[in-house]
Amino acid sequence: MDLKQRTLKKETSCVGIGLHTGKKVNMKIKPAPVNTGIIFIRKDIPGQPEIPVSFENVVAPERATNLIYNGYKVQTVEHLLAALYGCGIDNAIIEIDAPEVPAMDGSAAPFVFLIQMDAGILVQNAFKKFFIIKKTFRFEYNSSLILAYPSKELKIEYMIEFNHPLLRSQNYKFEFSTKKFINEISRARTFGFLHEVDALKKMGLAKGGSLDNAIVLDNFRVLNPDGLRFEDECVRHKILDFIGDIATLGKPVIGHFVVKKSGHSVNHGMLKKLVSEPAYWKILSPEVEKDVDEQIELPVFDLPEFVPA
């Protein structure tokens, strides 16, 4: 199994609009040396400030995951971070010329396509480091619950409940590999309710939102003319969001998460609490032989062919 760090073979780019700001944005994803991590650069601001991806730089309102560093901000990073995580990319520079990552189709699939098909993936000459859950950890907030158990691989079991005939309750169990991420999760789009749209727009949110980049539900049905990509697309998207949020740890995570009715702010609250309690986790690097002796199975980043649906 390949446990080496990864970046892109060459740069790739796209143009889109921000889901919340509605602003047009050009984005480039570029290769970076080992141990760089993922770094955003705001090309539209004098001095082109860097905003490193780290859970310490996360500000997570309920509707998106944003990063702020030295006062400079980049918004709605979660679907792009999920795509990078899903493809096993450890190191990349992301240049953008607006405050928000492009929404594309509301999923992670367009980013996966850019990474795998346009740029290609380069295996680098240094080992990854893994964030391992060592002891059962519990985080509760109002009606949200996240449990993290020690496991041999990354598993995410997610439950959602909404007062809506199509979403009354959806569950999904996901065992991570790049191939499964691409096939089961990456194409699931963000979703919202028609009755919330006006309120969100008044709050300055969802200005770029449309049926082109989100599933919109009225009180009974899906308004998108082509319907859903999966019957349980919404819970799959919540897993995509969760992966984007744990990606802010900057390392692949090994643990079994059971998540009930969470969102970006609760995911982030859980990560902050978890990191503050080192008894529950450890960092493992496969270059240390005794760590390998513990026979923890590491997640499969398996470089599959990209299969468009």
Q: Does 241 bind Zn ion (CB under 5 A)?
A: yes
How do 215-217 and 144-149 pair as beta strands? unpaired
Phi, psi of 250 (to 5 degrees): 80, 5
d(CA 98, CA 23): 7
Closest approach, Cβ 64 to Zn ion, in A, equals 8
Question: Which residues from 99-158 bind Zn ion, rule CB under 5 A?
Answer: none
With respect to Zn ion, which residue has the nearer C-beta, 259 or 298? Answer: 259
With respect to Zn ion, which residue has the nearer C-beta, 66 or 190? Answer: 190
Q: Catalytic: 264?
A: yes
Q: Does 66 bind Zn ion (CB under 5 A)?
A: no
Segment lying near Zn ion (by CB under 5 A), choices 96-104, 109-117, 174-182, 236-244 = 236-244
With respect to Zn ion, which residue has the nearer C-beta, 12 or 76? Answer: 76
Question: Which residues from 153-212 bind Zn ion, rule CB under 5 A?
Answer: 190
Q: Does 245 bind Zn ion (CB under 5 A)?
A: no
Q: Under 8 Å CB-to-CB from 34, ≥6 apart: which residues?
A: 5, 90, 91, 124, 125, 126
d(CA 247, CA 108): 14
Phi, psi of 22 (to 5 degrees): 70, 5
With respect to Zn ion, which residue has the nearer C-beta, 191 or 280? Answer: 191
d(CA 189, CA 213): 7
Q: Does 90 bind Zn ion (CB under 5 A)?
A: no
Residue pair 148/137 in contact by the 8 Å Cβ criterion: yes
Which is catalytic among the residues 20, 79, 264, 268? 264
- Where do contacts with Zn ion occur on this chain (CB under 5 A)? 190, 241
Query: Which residue numbers are catalytic?
Result: 264
